[in-house]
Amino acid sequence: MTPVLYITRNGLCEPLGQSQVLAYLRGLSTDYAFTIVSFEKAEDLADAEAMQRVSAICEHHGIRWLPQRFRYNPPVLAPALSMLQFLWLCLREVRRGNASLIHARSYIPAAVALLVNRLTGTPFIFDMRALWPEELITAGRLRRGAVLHRAINWAERACLRRAAGVVSLTHAAVDYLQSIYPHELAGQRVTVIPTCADLDRFVTSDQPASGPRVYACVGTVLSGWFRLDWLAAFFRAAARDPHARFEIVTRDAIDQVCDALDFAPELQWRIAIFPRASHLVHEAVQAHSVSVMFFTEGLSKLGSSPTRMGEALGCGIPVVANAGVGDVARIIAEHRVGVLVADAGDAAMAAALAELDELMQAPDLAQRCRKAAEEVFSLSAGTAAYKLLYRSILASVGAVGIQP
Give the pLDDT score at 301.
Answer: 85
Q: What is the pLDDT along the chain (404 residues), one digit of tens a residue?
A: 999 999 999 999 998 888 889 999 999 999 999 999 999 999 999 999 999 999 999 999 999 999 999 988 887 788 888 889 999 999 999 999 999 999 999 999 999 999 999 999 999 999 998 898 888 887 788 899 999 899 999 999 999 999 999 999 998 899 899 999 999 999 999 999 998 888 999 999 887 777 899 999 999 999 877 999 999 999 999 999 999 999 999 999 999 999 888 887 778 889 999 999 888 999 999 999 999 999 988 888 899 899 899 999 999 999 999 998 998 999 999 999 999 999 999 999 999 999 999 999 999 999 999 999 999 999 888 999 999 999 999 999 874 434 43
How buried is 320 (Cβ within 10 angstroms: 0-12 exposed, 13-18 middle, 19+ buried)? Answer: buried
φ, ψ for residue 33, nearest 5 deg: -95, 105
Q: Please give, one letter per residue, the 3-state secondary structure of the chain.
A: CEEEEEEECCCCCCHHHHHHHHHHHHHHCCCEEEEEEEEECHHHHCCHHHHHHHHHHHHHCCCEEEEEECCCCCCCHHHHHHHHHHHHHHHHHHHCCCCCEEEEECHHHHHHHHHHHHHHCCCEEEECCCCHHHHHHHCCCCCCCCHHHHHHHHHHHHHHHHCCEEEECCHHHHHHHHHHCHHHHCCCCEEECCCCECCCCCCCCCCCCCCCCEEEEECCCCCCCECHHHHHHHHHHHCCCCCCEEEEECCCCHHHHHHHHCCCHHHHCCEEEECCCHHHHHHHHHCCCEEECCECCCHHHCCCCCHHHHHHHHCCCCEEECCCCCCHHHHHHHHCCEEECCCCCHHHHHHHHHHHHHHCCCCCHHHHHHHHHHHHCEHHHHHHHHHHHHHHHHHHHHHHCCCC
**Pairing assessment for the beta strands 190-192 and 338-340 based on DSSP bridges:** unpaired
117 within 8 A of 123, measured Cβ to Cβ: yes
**Nearest C-alpha neighbor of 103 from the set 247, 233, 5, 178:** 5
300 within 8 A of 225, measured Cβ to Cβ: yes
**Cβ partners under 8 Å of residue 216, min gap 6:** 246, 247, 248, 249, 284, 285, 288, 289, 290, 291, 292
B/e letters for 98-120, b = 16+ CB within 10 Å, e = fewer, are bbbbbbbbbbbbbbbbbbbbeeb
In whole angstroms, give the CA distance from residue 291 to residue 313. Answer: 9
**Nearest C-alpha neighbor of 9 from the set 116, 20, 1:** 20
Give the pLDDT score at 278.
Answer: 84
Give the pLDDT score at 403.
Answer: 40
Domains with residue ranges and CATH for the chain: 2-196+378-400 (3.40.50.2000), 214-376 (3.40.50.2000)
φ, ψ for residue 321, nearest 5 deg: -150, 180
85 within 8 A of 68, measured Cβ to Cβ: yes
| Cis ω before 15 (30° cut-off from 0) | no
